[in-house]
Structure 1
């Protein structure tokens, strides 16, 4: 893969956005937390080192500074500034451009159901430049790199890319498992006799929406990782191939689990809808039966004009008595139907 070397000029402009930096050389951490404008000089000082430069919500001017120093393609820079790009790995003459999503799900009704952070990355020969468009925990990347620092000795910048993809995919797997556990509880409530309460159904709809949003972030990941492992790119060597294949396997597992959850929640909601239909049919049948029972004597007495005298007939107190009886009976029927949820 033809990828440009980092420029050797030491005096460069520094991006004004928050940055994070790390330099690895031969499997050990050489420097961290240094200003971004010192990166070219450190790369020159350590010819075998690779750089991680993180930019948090950079502006066009910040990306222009980095693009000039690392020879980034304008189209890739444009994609890094725009939000809601699809997960992908694009190849440019002098670098690669990666776009992925870190996810965070909540299965509690009182919290937002789904959050995701779009992460763009430029993969050059000696640098991994990440662009975060929202708040996220970069310490997870650092911990993964530090735990597998020996891979940097032969892996170069692909070692940094592996750590990034591994953390992102692990987040996808964890999110799918949380949703699966939450769906177990919803399933117990939805499949109860008589249908689930409205709050449970709304929680099920909320989970379905979360699964749909997670699916858009997770499904393309196996193809993205497979693209990174292509031999013609020359990015992943034989030592790192098993690690990338492991990440790809986890990504496929997460995608399969999301598809299973999607089918599962749809089936549960359909089963609950069918149960509600059965209950409605039963209620309708009962009401029709009672209506038939009441209609027959009402029709017969009306046909024969049986307006018989009753206690209080043609008396004021009798009228009041009948009105009270009508109100009490109608009110009692309304209360009963309201309590059963029919009104």
Structure 2
């Protein structure tokens, strides 16, 4: 039997009246007074309560004498929203703190999240739920969180597909595309900070010899641990990929700059030869044919031939 929609003050009494029952209590942005009342009822440690009220805590697992404290992040990445090319604005993080006691899972949503998704996940394994307790509720929470992290990692990777060809095209990527690439790398860094500790958190909960997870559920925890590893590997792969794309674009930009510099130097050399010759014939000493028509033709031919020969040489070398 499942009982819902009763006051939080009734929870402890209902657990006493039903020795085999377990409970889930979800608090959305509770005040310090609200959480203090729950802490007094279930004997929650003050340090854990303090962490549950604070925002931007790192993902972690803390063990206390009568309960566990877990902090995790559900993630999403919406490539169709956000502010311009600021991909970090498209990353949505829902911080969830959880107190795990013998008979109750108490979650604290520090931001509004999709609670129905968590309930649906539990409802899909009613047979496993009937034979388990709080460890099943925590498994469902971990599974939903890790699946969201992997989905976010894949969404960022797919967003890179849209800019990869433009970044690897000839001439380098336009500045908006390049800035979008930098934004995606920042988004991956945000994801990595939330995903990297998850494998250790799940492993610590399900470690052999622990009292919370029974042998029936331990393989399921290992499956979640494997998914957390896959999510982290996907993010690491995407970080390597976007870094290599940005480096390739930077190299292309450098090659273009070198080519332009080389062409400018070549044209300067071509122009310098006639300048030197006219300076020699016009300013230093009278040249052969000075003040004669054939002398002018001779000097002009020398200018054209010398400049043309230098141009052909530089063209053959690929400088022009």
- What TM-score, normalized by structure 2, do the two folds share? 0.83
Partner deviation per Cα, 1:240-277 (whole Å, 9 max, x = no partner): 11211111110011111111111111111111101111
Partner deviation per Cα, 1:276-302 (whole Å, 9 max, x = no partner): 111111111112222222333345446
Question: Mind listing any 5+ residue stretches in structure 1 that lack a counterpart?
Answer: 1-28, 307-343
Alpha-carbon distance in 2 for matches of 1:218, 1:92: 24
Alpha-carbon distance in 1 for matches of 2:206, 2:13: 30
SS class of match (2:102): coil
Shift of 1:226: 0.5
Alpha-carbon distance in 1 for matches of 2:5, 2:99: 19
Alpha-carbon distance in 2 for matches of 1:195, 1:180: 21
Alpha-carbon distance in 1 for matches of 2:7, 2:272: 88
- Residue matched to 2:62: 90
**Residues 125 and 197 from structure 1, CA distance in 2 versus in 1: closer, same or farther, beyond 3 angstroms?**
same
Alpha-carbon distance in 2 for matches of 1:109, 1:284: 41
Alpha-carbon distance in 2 for matches of 1:47, 1:62: 25
Alpha-carbon distance in 1 for matches of 2:250, 2:117: 42
Alpha-carbon distance in 1 for matches of 2:18, 2:282: 110
Shift of 1:154: 2.0
Over the aligned positions, Cα root-mean-square deviation in angstroms equals 1.7
**Match runs of 1:152-301 below 5 Å:** 152-301=129-278
Alpha-carbon distance in 2 for matches of 1:102, 1:258: 15
Alpha-carbon distance in 2 for matches of 1:43, 1:222: 32
SS class of match (2:71): strand
- Residue matched to 2:316: none
- Residue matched to 2:71: 99
- Residue matched to 2:17: 45
Question: Mind listing any 5+ residue stretches in structure 2 that lack a counterpart?
Answer: 84-88, 284-320
Stretch moving more, 50-59 or 147-156: 147-156
**Structure 1 position 132 matched with structure 2 position 109:** yes
8 Å contact 1:226–1:248 — kept in the other structure? yes
Give 4+ residue runs of structure 1 displaced > 6 Å after superposition.
none
Name the one with the larger helix percent: 2
Alpha-carbon distance in 1 for matches of 2:223, 2:123: 19
Shift of 1:94: 0.3
Q: How many corresponding residue pairs? A: 278
Shift of 1:45: 2.7
Shift of 1:186: 2.0
Q: Which has the larger radius of gyration?
A: 2
Alpha-carbon distance in 2 for matches of 1:208, 1:109: 17
SS class of match (1:85): coil
- Residue matched to 1:335: none
Stretch moving more, 194-203 or 150-159: 150-159
Alpha-carbon distance in 1 for matches of 2:207, 2:225: 13
Shift of 1:68: 0.1
8 Å contact 1:53–1:128 — kept in the other structure? yes
8 Å contact 1:109–1:203 — kept in the other structure? no
